[in-house]
Chains A and B, each alone.
Chain A
């Protein structure tokens, strides 16, 4: 039971990241009709907003301490972050400690700008081109972004810890009347799940309850008719591209304390998230979210020792890395449009 609960929590957590990225992918596909393979790179750029925020807070004034020496025997250079110099020790340290949540404030404008430049500068030229061209150009763009980040920040992972208040785990076992420590789960992963639930709800509420959202939905259903009504739907779709980039970026920022970010993290998520979109149904926002959580949970269960032992008993290798693809095959064989896909999407 404890293992079951733990893997459900793990699945929800993994699913949160898949769902957030898949949501953005679907939003772009639904509005602009573009299969954006650079979306994982946007997730990674968001994560590096957190790294940048941390580095900004750590920009230091260098003084020489003649009483100590460095590894070469030269007088030691002592670094004092300017935020401590300017705001005092407690406020300065608090800013450094909370650099990940504070990076959300940096990520929103940065990601909107990156999304806007990406759409206006490159992707709009491919609207009328085949999907294969769109995939190739966005995949190429992802590699370019990746290499720029690597050249700027290096190839190694960079630790970006959560605020010290959220280090540690919550004891679910005690809450459910089980033994202490039976089911514990890290605070930050719970926060990530809650954060993704808020973002997903906000996107749905925005599309459902605002006039802007209503026009966008109408444009997704029938772009031409909305255009004939005198509404500049292209401008709104460009803004939605920026919004989708911001969603991916925010997901990336909050993910950094879970795994130290590196330049390759976007690619790690992209393929899985694309499968999530296909399983959920191309163009279906609820489908993307549902499939994200479903596949996250299935992936977690597949890596349970009991499941591995079962497959070993049948002389089969474990399926933890391929379960998502197996499910995708089954879903596409039985429901070719995905779980919640609509007729006519990518079927021309």
Chain B
């Protein structure tokens, strides 16, 4: 039988049913709004009286102490942004856009995630902070592997990533992203700062043996140090890659003894650095004479926290850092005072870079007048500033890398207290550590386009 198209059958259609169906359909239609917010201009656009930042640091795992120091600095920065405390480096920052009333008048709140110094865990915690907590910016990290992974995630999610402690050339080289910004220095800069001091202290006719952590940071640092020292006349005897999980380096140190090398370069960080340096000193390398010269050890990237772990072994050994609490500029003094009074000890290198990153992000929002990542990116690109402890600094537009002075440090022979393990040998001027955006060590990546998400 042909259906009667002209008549509406009402037999199963009640008023209650209509309401239920309508409610379900309405909820269904509303769902995409809840998940992707098509009406928002960008991911996690703040609508209330507060804005949430996501601090993604190692709270467990081998870098937990560094993560804890980063978290202290983040909390201090939030306090200062909201008008608490003495304002710290906000008082010395050359940009005067920050008013101590939050960011763009919204109170700053924060959530924290645990990277565990593992890329997958770091991505998961960043994702959770963006999707569940509504974080509008992600910052932190104590490893280049983690930084590269989280930077990629933030690019996809459409939020800004303000990198913490990451020193690999790749972070702003082949893995650079339009939504990612790095204040910390990198392997190339360490090489450019260290090589002249090494040549000056140890001479130009030196034979170096490298032990290198077998991952992105180790490879790029080794490449940078080798190139910089060879440019000063040094030769490279060998480069041995050591697995990250190594704890006893004795079998890697033993071949150095009779290799003809007179310098050992330890491209290691964290626990690896503490152990390899301790092992090298145990094997009497620092007491040896090779090629008529004193055998020397170099640790290109220093961390104050790890220097403490190496104890006496660090004395007299050269390396580089992004910043030191012993600097005498007004920004450093203000930050050390604020941090020291709140926590009772001076801040680390890692603490300073994340504090600076938080202020720089907030300041960029104020200057751009928006939380839109593309507006912020535009505001940070090419931004020149001073007063954050590193002297005049540029956030370069082409790769989102900060360019500033680099510190060459030495393990102090007679420390006066437990925070006094390192001393400044030289403040290498920014011009000496600059490089072209298309430098071969940074080639292969594409910054791409800013992604506002939403």
Q: Is the CB of A159 within 8 A of B310?
A: yes
Q: Are B251 and A304 in contact (CB under 8 A)?
A: yes
Tell me which of B62, B250, B274, B341 contacts A10 (CB under 8 A).
B250
Segment at the A interface, from B166-174, B281-289, B372-380: B281-289
Instruction: Check A305–B240 contact: CB distance below 8 A.
Output: yes
**Is A71 on the interface with B (CB-CB < 8 A)?**
yes
Other-chain contact of A259, B248, B283, B287, B308 (Cβ < 8 Å): B248
CB distance from A63 to the nearest CB of B (A): 14
Using Cβ atoms and an 8 Å threshold, which residues of chain A touch B309?
156-159, 260
B311–A264 contact, CB under 8 A? no
Selected interface stretch from A132-140, A184-192, A217-225: A184-192
Q: Chain A contacts of B355 at CB under 8 A?
A: none
Q: Which residues from chain A contact B278 at a C-beta distance below 8 Å?
A: 159, 258-260
Q: Are B64 and A159 in contact (CB under 8 A)?
A: no
Is A157 within 8 A of B255, CB to CB? no
Residues in chain A near residue B271, CB distance under 8 A: 156-157, 262, 264
Expressed in whole angstroms, the minimum distance between the Cβ of B192 and any Cβ of chain A is 29
Bound Cα distance from A337 to B284, whole angstroms: 42
Q: What are the residues of chain A within 8 A of B312 when measuring CB–CB? A: 159, 161
Cβ of A7 within 8 Å of any chain B Cβ, yes or no, is yes
| B294 → chain A closest CB, angstroms | 13
Q: Report how far A11 CA is from B309 CA in the complex, Å.
A: 25
Could you tell me the distance between the alpha carbons of A2 and B258 in the complex, rounded to whole angstroms? Answer: 8
In the assembled complex, which residues on chain B have CB atoms less than 8 Å from the CB atom of A259? 247-248, 274-275, 278-279
For B265-282 the 0/1 string (1 means CB < 8 A from A) is 000000100110011001
A interface bracket (residues with beta carbon within 8 Å of B): 35 or more
Chain A residues, Cβ within 8 Å of B336: 71-72
A182 on the B face (CB < 8 A): yes
Q: Are A156 and B65 in contact (CB under 8 A)?
A: yes
Contact B341 A72 (CB under 8 A): yes
Assess whether B243 is interfacial by the CB under 8 Å rule. Answer: yes
Q: Give, as a whole number of angstroms, the nearest-CB distance from A71 to chain B.
A: 5
Contacts of A3 in B (CB 8 A): 254-255, 258
Q: How far is the CA of A126 from the CA of B310 in the complex (A)?
A: 41
CA of A13 to CA of B159, assembled, Å? 51
* Contact in complex: B283, A72 (CB < 8 Å): no
- In the complex, what distance in Å separates the CA atom of A11 from the CA atom of B336? 47
B-side contacts of A6, CB under 8 Å: 254-255, 257
**Which one of B257, B282, B340, B341 has the highest number of Cβ atoms from chain A below 10 Å of its Cβ?**
B282
Complex Cα–Cα for A150 and B64 (A): 9
Say yes or no: is A232 at the interface (Cβ < 8 Å to chain B): no
Name B65's contact: one of A7, A154, A159, A303 (CB within 8 Å): A154
Q: Which of chain B's residues 297-341 have a Cβ closer than 8 Å to chain A?
A: 305-306, 308-313, 325, 336-337, 340-341
Known A7-B251, A169-B284; contact A70-B258, beta-carbon cutoff 8 A: no
Interchain nearest-CB distance for B327 vs A (Å) = 12
Query: Is A320 a contact of B254 with CB atoms below 8 Å?
Result: no
With A159-B310, A320-B243 already in contact, the answer to whether A181 and B257 are too (CB < 8 A) is yes
B275: chain A residues at CB < 8 Å are: 157, 259-260
B48-100 CB contacts (< 8 Å) to partner A: 60-65
Q: Mark B233-252, 1 if CB is under 8 A from A, else 0.
A: 00000101101011110111
Instruction: For A182, give the chain B residue with the smallest CB separation.
Output: B258
CA distance A80 to B274 in the complex (A): 27
Pairwise interchain contact B240-A308, C-beta atoms closer than 8 A: yes
User: Measured between C-beta atoms, what is the minimum distance from B281 to chain A in Å?
Assistant: 9
A299 & B284 in contact (Cβ 8 Å cutoff): no
Does B419 reach chain A (CB closer than 8 Å)?
A: yes
Chain B residue numbers with a CB within 8 Å of A181 are: 257, 288
Interchain CB contact under 8 A, B282 and A71? no
Pairwise interchain contact A184-B325, C-beta atoms closer than 8 A: no
A–B complex contacts, Cβ < 8 Å, 10 sampled = A3-B254, A6-B255, A7-B254, A71-B325, A157-B275, A184-B284, A189-B282, A258-B282, A260-B278, A303-B251
* In the A-B complex, the 5 residue pairs with the closest CB atoms: A159-B311, A155-B64, A157-B309, A169-B284, A303-B251
15 extra interface residue pairs, beta carbon distance < 8 Å, beyond A14-B251, A157-B306 = A6-B257, A7-B251, A10-B250, A10-B254, A72-B336, A155-B60, A155-B64, A156-B309, A258-B279, A264-B62, A264-B271, A265-B247, A268-B247, A300-B251, A321-B245
